[in-house]
Structure 1
Amino acid sequence: MDWFQVVFLALLQGLTEFLPVSSSAHLILPSQLFGWTDQGLAFDVGVHIGSLTAVMVYFRQDIWRMLTAWTGSLTGQGRSVDSVLAWYVILATIPAVIAGFMFNSAIDHYGRSILVIAGTTLIFGALLWWADISRTEVRPLEKITLKDAVIIGLAQAVALIPGTSRSGITITAGLMLGLNRQSAARFSFLLSIPVILGAGLLKGLELLETGTGDQWTMIISGTVLAAISAYCCIHLFLKWLDRVGMLPFVIYRMLLGLVLLAVYFLV
């Protein structure tokens, strides 16, 4: 890669990882439109580490409270809102882990098509719009239930299909279950931590097995840029969410899906 590709892809990954617009839909476009070669496994690991760093730094206080309360629940210190939330994050992660082991090969083989990504971008964008306009917004995150966590976890497993958007479908599920926008988004971001960590570890193990001759200066730079852009993205998204709602992202997804269809049929 050259430096322009490093900056472009790192910023793109950091921004789209947490917005409900699908990072996979975006990362396929540069190679199709500009003829770029694959960025390499080491770069993928780097931007995953950047995204993970961003979300953990942003929610560091929440994570510390949840971790402390969860550890206390294991030692018999009783049940609290934070310990329950920690258990729900763990529980909601399980479906994605199981689906990843069962269907990863099939998804890699059949799901990387631009046509598939265009379809899921459009379909789940429309579902996000419907969930947002029909929301009831009656419950804060502290009122999330076991049933909510299971359903949102199952929705997250569907996001293994490229173009779905992990954040998009988990926020959609949260809104449909009656969580307010802030609560649905915050639970989605907390859920991203074990998922991104797991994906980064798997890619890291693969990288250790294959080795790499990549330029580490570019990889480290990509990691830092991805972390900064992801942190800014999370902050601005939560700040503006109640003001702008989901409609801008829905419109963007519709346009992106149409662009992908045009690329598939015309390019």
Structure 2
Amino acid sequence: MTTFNLLLVALIQGITEFLPISSSGHLILLPSLSGLDDQGQIIDVAAHVGTLAAVILYFWSDVRLALGGTRRLIQGKADTPGARLALGLIIATIPVILFGLFLKVTGLSDHMRGIAVIGWTMTIFGLVLYWADQKGPTVKTAEVWTLKDAIKMGLWQAVALIPGTSRSGITITAGRMLGYTRTDAARLSMLMSIPTIIASASLLSLDLIGTTDASALRDIGIVAVMSFIAALIALTLMMRLLRAVSYTPYVIYRLVLGVILLWIAYT
């Protein structure tokens, strides 16, 4: 792949991973609409590693709290905020892992990568996000995240395996429906992304064992570093903007892109 193609993939992945506009949908659309070569799974893994590092760095205090709580869980105790957070993240990740394995084994994931599917999911789930953001109450914070809410948000997260849905978008939607504030719904969504990205990257890596040669290391490094920088900037800006701006701008973007994709798909 050319350096330009690598940078384009890294920027798209980094910017869209944590915004509620679907990173997977944009990466699928890139070769379809631009004529560029498909980036392949190796580059996908590298891009995800970059965004993973960005979210861990940004939410390091929460990550450190959950890591400390994991030790309590190993001891069979969930009596601290960190242990409860760690348990919630584990529970919220189970549905997406199970659904992801189902799609991989059945081969259904390959049949959902079309422009029409992405167009419909962009549009439908964009409208659902708008409704949840406008109508959802703001009575909960991330500190009172319950296991019941973790299960519900985890089930919604599994739906994001359909391209164009957006993992962050659907989990933020679920969070707003459950009554979490805009910033805390986003915060929980970002924390949920950590084990999900780790699971996804690990699954892809299993398919790539023994296929990476030395010439690919440069490409992997470029994509990982650029994805990290782009994701950190996008994440920082979104979290700051949420203090004053709703999710409506992202909804408008989803609707415009969705309509364009449906027009392309059916004409």
Q: TM-score, normalised by structure 2?
A: 0.94
1:46-195 equivalences under 5 Å are 46-75=46-75, 79-104=79-104, 105-195=106-196
Residue by residue over 1:208-240, the C-alpha shift from the partner in whole angstroms, topping out at 9 and shown as x without a partner, is: 144457542232111100001111111111111
The unaligned stretches of length 5 or more in structure 1 are none
Q: Comparing 18-27 with 244-253, which one deviates more in the overlay?
A: 18-27
User: Does residue 1:41 correspond to 2:41, yes or no?
Assistant: yes
Q: CA deviation digits over 1:11-53, x for unaligned, max 9?
A: 0001111100011221122212221111122211111111111
Moved more, 10-19 or 22-31: 22-31
C-alpha distance 44-212 of structure 1, shift in aligned 2 (>3 A): farther
What is the identity, as a one-letter code, of the residue corresponding to 2:168? S
Deviations 1:145-185 (A, max 9, x none): 22111100000011111111000000000000011111111
CA distance in 1, matches of 2:16, 2:252: 15
Matches within 5 A, 1:215-230: 215-230=216-231
Q: For the residues of structure 1 that align with 2:114 and 2:12, how far apart are their CA atoms? A: 20
Is 198-207 or 174-183 further displaced after alignment? 198-207
Moved more, 99-108 or 190-199: 99-108
SS at match of 2:36: coil
Distance in 2, Cα, partners of 1:245 & 1:2: 38
Shift of 1:106: 3.7
Q: Which AA in structure 2 matches 1:110? A: H
Q: Match of 1:125, SS?
A: helix
Aligned counterpart, 1:234:
235
Is contact 1:14–1:230 with CA below 8 Å preserved after alignment? yes
RMSD between superposed Cα atoms in Å: 1.6
Give the aligned partner of residue 254 of structure 1.
Answer: 255
Matched-pair identity in %? 44
CA distance in 1, matches of 2:116, 2:82: 42
| 3-state DSSP of counterpart to 1:36 | coil
Corresponding letter in the other structure for 1:25: G
* Contact 1:42/1:212 (8 A) holds in 2: no
- The answer to whether the aligner puts 1:200 opposite 2:201 as a matched pair is yes
2:9 corresponds to? 9
Given that 2:78 and 2:84 are in contact with CA atoms closer than 8 Å, whether structure 1 keeps it comes out as no
Q: 1:78 to 1:193 in 2, by over 3 A?
A: closer
1:29 is aligned to 29
Distance 1:34 1:85 in 2: 42
Equivalent residue letter for 2:167: R
What secondary structure does 2:263 align onto? helix
Structure 2 counterpart of 1:31, one-letter code:
P
Query: For residues 76 and 32 of structure 2, what CA distance do their matches in structure 1 show?
Result: 55
CA contact (8 A) 1:42 1:214 kept: no
Change (3 A) 1:113 1:64: same
DSSP-derived class of the 1:243 partner: coil
Rounded to whole Å, the distance in 2 between the matches of 1:264 and 1:200 is: 30
The one-letter amino acid paired with 1:46 is A
Looking at structure 2, the residues matched to 217 and 134 of structure 1 have their Cα atoms a distance apart, in angstroms, of 47
AA partner of residue 190 (structure 1): L
Paired AA for residue 35 in structure 2: G
Structure 2: gaps (5+ residues): none
